[in-house]
Amino acid sequence: MQAIVLAAGYATRLYPLTKDFPKALLRIGGKPMMDHLVDELDKLPQICGIHVVTNSRFYAAFADWAASKRTRAALHVYDDGTADDDTKRGAIGDMEFVRQEADIREDCLVVAGDNLLKIDFAAFLEQFARHGETLLLCQKQTSLKTLRSFAVATTDAQGRILQLEEKPQEPKSDLGVFALYLYPAATFARIPEYLRAGNSPDSPGHLPEWLLKQGEPLRAFVTEEPCFDIGTHESLRHVRALYGE
């Protein structure tokens, strides 16, 4: 199994902090945000490669970080060749870029580098192993405003996803989807088909939404553990208050 960490965004909502420094390397709890994620991925024996994709502006910072990072799994950093928010590939475009660059043909875990997820990653992989279908991390949300900024899943009693909608104004459930996905190899290989059809390369949640419409089975891993999507100054302050600088 391979893992892709998405870190090629420009985090314009966090300017000036992130104008010349990548969001995923901001410090939380005494270490870069990326360390929290990569340390968890590296504990999983199923994962043999961790592929971090960034952009030309921040590639040097990530390369320096990776050079001093000791991991069991092979750690790779990729420059996606973009230099600003107007020319970015988008999350799904970056997934396809790494899929080709690394020649990924195995099951693939995809996660956003700006998420702080205090979940049981081993349990996440165990659930995937039981059914072998695309698995999404979900959490119940009490705020309508928050739900409107997420992909929202509707599930049955067995955790099968029946409906998935990206950032709905009128959510049909309270189950928000965080940017952690586990794709079977054959499903991950469908990204070129998705892009050729003219679908959006941006938000990673659009891919599972499309897959569901194509008849691909999706499952929900529902957690009550702390999960944070760090996209604004407010969310960064909140997480730092909990975990320290």
Please report, for the chain, the start and end positions of each structural domain, with discontinuous segments joined by +.
2-243
pLDDT of residue 23 exceeding 80, the answer is: yes
Q: What is the pLDDT of residue 11?
A: 84
Question: What pLDDT band is residue 245 in, cutting at 50, 70 and 90?
Answer: confident
pLDDT of residue 123 exceeding 80, the answer is: yes
Name the more confident of 16 and 62: 62
Query: What residues are paired with 139 via a beta bridge?
Result: 176
Question: What pLDDT band is residue 191 in, cutting at 50, 70 and 90?
Answer: very high
pLDDT of residue 244 exceeding 80, the answer is: no
Query: What residues are paired with 4 via a beta bridge?
Result: 51, 110
Q: What is the pLDDT of residue 121?
A: 97
Name the more confident of 230 and 134: 134
Q: What is the pLDDT of residue 40?
A: 96
Q: What is the pLDDT of residue 85?
A: 83
The CATH architecture assigned to 2-243 reads: Alpha-Beta Complex (3.90)
Q: What is the pLDDT of residue 24?
A: 94
Name the more confident of 227 and 77: 77
Q: How far is CA 237 from CA 27, 212, 225, 232, 241, in A?
A: 11, 36, 19, 9, 6
pTM (two decimals): 0.94
pLDDT digits (tens, 9 = 90+) for 126-184: 999 999 999 999 999 888 888 888 889 999 989 999 999 888 888 889 899 999 999 99
Q: What is the pLDDT of residue 142?
A: 84
Q: What is the pLDDT of residue 147?
A: 83
Q: What is the pLDDT of residue 226?
A: 85
Q: What is the pLDDT of residue 160?
A: 95
One-character DSSP codes across the chain: -EEEEE-----GGGTTTTSSS-GGGSEETTEEHHHHHHHHHHT-TT--EEEEEE-TTTHHHHHHHHHT---SSEEEEEE-S--STTT---HHHHHHHHHHHTT--S-EEEEETTEEE-S-HHHHHHHHHHH-SEEEEEEE---HHHHTTSEEEEE-TTSBEEEEEES-SS-SSSEEEEEEEEE-HHHHTTHHHHHHTT--SS-TTHHHHHHHHTT--EEEEE--S-EEE--SHHHHHHHHHHH--
